[in-house]
Amino acid sequence: MSMSKPAAAAPSDPSKPSKPLKEVPGSYGLPVLGAVKDRLDFYWFQGDTEFFRIRMEQHKSTVFRVNYSPGPPGYPDSRGIILLDQKSFSVLLDNSKVDKSDTLLGPYIPNLAFTGGYRVLPYLDTSEAKHTAYKDLIFELLHVNSSRIIPEYNKVFAETAGSWEERIAKSGKAEVFASSDAMITRFLLRTIVHKDPAEPGPASLGPKFRDTYQLWTGVNFAGIAHTPLPHFLEELLFHTFRLPPFLVKKQYKALANFYRTHATEALDLAEKKYGLDREETVHQLILILGINARLGLHKMIPALIYYLGLLGEDFQAKIAAEVRSAVHKNRAQGEEGVNITTQALLEMPLLRSTVLETLRLTPSIFYMYGRAREDMVIESHDAAFQIKKGELLGGHQYFVMRDPEVFEEPHKFVADRFLGERGKAVLPYLVWSNGRETESPASSNKQCPAKDVAELITMQFVAEMFLRYDSFEITKDSFINTTELNVHLKSLKKRSV
């Protein structure tokens, strides 16, 4: 039976709170020093989840004031209110209540030079005309390239699986994080841009295309980074001052040249149908495909391998049987080597529940932010709080999607959690996509435009695994948390029949 329980319904009139009205607990401490202390606790002395857990217990509340990291002196606007339960967090999904302008990373706003001088889609609020136009463009790009998605993913998976087999044969293990990143980058660019980034020719990114994207991403978001560097160096280099964009000028120029040269169909569509500036669209696509889509999709792969590895051979056999049955029933016609169809994926309920459970415990992005559009009252499960217009609100999905008021055994991976009526009842509380699982992305909201496609692609990855292998093992030292996905494959048992 699924380990889930529905939460109590929200009050029908949020202007009349059903809970006692309280002051938001917590303080920001002394100017600058309070924020620096919180930053050191967050990154070094406690870690991100313990940082919030300790304060939640201290205040006996899932809603409290906190200095968001990285904070001053380089990032002065760090004060905000954290929302750590499903009920209070729901305000961040209501675009009529919160403004998402430049709040993707809370107080951290990268220099516009990192994106060609343009404010890109994830930083735009739903009230901005460009938000609607660029989100509609993404929907159309997904639509016009829909026939390429499954075949291209099939190809990059086969290439990556082959490399895993070679590494296991050579060294006894194969790392998953970097290789899945390269796989997803190739898939996205082949599918949407219609060009492999490593393919020789004009504007090629070369065989080290992942390094180009990774370096630009790393410097862009260095202010919120965890790195292998000694603590004092990371604190000094990344969390105290902003790294200048010129450090990755060469890499970004190469990315822009690649998109200008090869994304002509997408750029033509943006310019002719939506009236969008061609050069601006280049920079929008670099970030949308290279960060939103790339990081979101590739983080799911090591997480899935980790949980499936822990569940072991018996559970993997159940998934394999479901995959093979659905594929046999809905075998693809046409392209050689492609056996999976969209209909087949839709007939794999246990696999879908397993993917959703992975997204619940390990979403691609753990944080969500927004500023209150007006004075309002926010309710948690046991209290109500007055919020002032302009206050920065944030949520940490580690706590929100492990809310014990919603999910039974919230920290346990339960593969069939989302099956049946009980599973259906808790689907609205799965919010990994910046929206509810039961809702659909639209140009008028901030939900991931590729939410449904991302889930199907992730399901396809598992399906491809069990069409090629009977089972697999991970190394004993594999682990995942909110900042690291350190997963290695130990063995891949080729399919016997």
Tens-place pLDDT, residues 171-188: 999 999 999 999 999 999
CA distance linking residue 170 with residue 265, whole number of Å: 42
CA distances from 271 to 268, 280, 281 (A): 5, 10, 8
Q: DSSP states of 138-182 as a string? A: HHHHHHHTHHHHHHHHHHHHHHHHHHHHHHHHHHS-EE-HHHHHH
pLDDT at 3: 52
Residue 31 has pLDDT above 50, yes or no: yes
pLDDT tens digits, one per residue of 345-392:
999 999 999 999 999 999 999 999 999 999 999 999 999 999 999 999
Task: Give the residues across from 82 on adjacent strands.
Answer: 64, 394
**pLDDT confidence tier of residue 14, bands split at 50, 70 and 90:** very low
Q: Which two three-digit tokens encode residue 375?
A: 């004075």
How much is the pLDDT for 108? 87
Q: Output the pTM of the full model.
A: 0.94
Q: Which CATH number fits domain 111-364+414-494: 3.40.605.10, 3.40.50.720, 1.10.630.10, 1.10.600.10?
A: 1.10.630.10
Kindly state the tokens that stand for 358: 């992975």
Q: What is the mean pLDDT of the chain?
A: 92
Tell me the CA end-to-end span of the chain in Å, nearest whole number.
Answer: 31
CA distances to 21, 84, 172 from 376, rounded to whole Å, are: 12, 18, 57
DSSP letters spanning 339-395: ---HHHHHT-HHHHHHHHHHHHHS-S--EEEEEESS-EEEE-SS-EEEE-TT-EEEE
Q: How many helices (H) and strands (E) does the chain have?
A: 17, 13
Share above pLDDT 70 across residues of the chain, in percent, rounded to a whole number? 95
- Kindly indicate the confidence band of residue 2, based on its pLDDT and cuts at 50, 70 and 90: very low
Q: Is the pLDDT of residue 1 over 50?
A: no
User: Above 70 in pLDDT, residue 234?
Assistant: yes
Residue type at position 207? P
Residue 242 — φ and ψ, nearest 5°? Answer: -80, 135
Read off the pLDDT of residues 270-325 as tens digits, 9 standing for 90 and up.
999 999 999 999 999 999 999 999 988 999 999 999 999 999 999 999 999 999 99
CA distances from 480 to 43, 142, 146, 205, 461 (A): 17, 30, 32, 30, 19
What percent of the chain has pLDDT above 90? 82
pLDDT tier, 335 (very low <50, low <70, confident <90, very high otherwise): low
* Predicted confidence (pLDDT) per residue in 77-96, tens digit: 789 999 999 999 999 999 99
Q: Which alpha helices (DSSP H) does 81-236 contain, by range?
A: 86-89, 129-144, 146-171, 177-188, 209-220, 231-234
Between vectors from CA 213 to CA 139 and to CA 237, what angle results, nearest 5°? 125
Distances (CA, A) of 60 to 53, 63, 383, 395: 10, 9, 11, 17
Domain boundaries, the chain: 111-364+414-494
